[in-house]
Structure formats: C-alpha cells, structure tokens
Homo-oligomer: A and B are copies of this chain.
Amino acid sequence: MLSKKTKYGLKALTYLASLETREPVQIAEIAKHENISQKFLESILLTLRRNGFLGSKKGKGGGYYLIKEPEDILMTAVMRVLEGPIAMVPCVSLNFYEKCADCPDENKCSVNKLMLQVRDSALEVYRNNTLADLIS
C-alpha cells in the first residue's frame, strides 16, 4: 500500500509543477486544492525541502516552490524519499539492503527470486517518469 504521505507528497509536487509561476505557494492553498490535511502536508513539504526538491520562504508572502524543473525530477528519487525502499523486501533493495534474519542462502530463496523481478519492473517505471510526465 502506498502511504498517504507519499500520495499527498506526489499531489503537492504535481500541483506546484502545474502552475505557471515558481513563486512561493502557501501550504494552505496546496492543502485546500488537493483535499489534504494541512498539518500533515506541512511535515511532508518539510521533508521534500530537506531533500532538495522544494525551496521555502518564511513570513508574509512565503510558501513553497519547486527548486528544479519538473523534467529533472525523477520518480525514483521522489519515491525513495517519501515511501522509502522501492523493493518489497530489504534483501533485494539497492539503496536499503539488509540481509534476511531467516533465509540461509539468498540465491536459493524463492521470495528473493520473485521480488527481484518486481523491483526491477517498478524501477523501470519510476526511471521513465519525471514530474513533468505526471501532469495532465
């Protein structure tokens, strides 16, 4: 299941990308337009800023704005920041690898074998989509 954090984050990014301007947009406006709990969105935008996707400006006339062109924002990067690992099990994760506690031999593990394929296919989708591709 996709977490609401990721869902809301994606929606917020898409909304910002869809605007003509790159001037700061207030949290309240984004939250209202996308039907998102404002306080929750606040923390999501914060992590997007900390990870280099958004810039922010405090005080009156402040808000959040895209820091890169939508064409340059890959879904692999967005998903990893918001949702975490793309792989469904740590033992096939590229960026968050961990050995399974059970499972004596990864190469003979059926779960590993299947989830490796799933990871690769998901990865291909995320690599082929930038933020610009999600705007209709």
Q: Which positions in A face B, CB cutoff 8 Å?
A: 1-2, 7, 10-11, 14, 34-36, 75, 85, 88-89, 101-103, 107-111, 113-115, 117-118, 121-122, 124-126, 129, 133-136
Copies of this chain assembled into the complex: 2
Tell me the dominant secondary structure on chain A's binding face.
helix
User: Taking each of A11, A14, A109, A110, which has the highest tally of chain B beta carbons within 10 Å of its own beta carbon?
Assistant: A110
Decide: A118 and B113 in contact? CB cutoff 8 A.
Answer: no
Q: Which of B89, B110, B121, B124 contacts A2 (CB 8 A)?
A: B89
Q: Which of B109, B111, B121 contacts A121 (CB 8 A)?
A: B121
Decide: B129 and A117 in contact? CB cutoff 8 A.
Answer: yes
Contacts of A101 on B, CB cut-off 8 Å?
A: 35
Contacts of A113 on B, CB cut-off 8 Å?
A: 133-134, 136
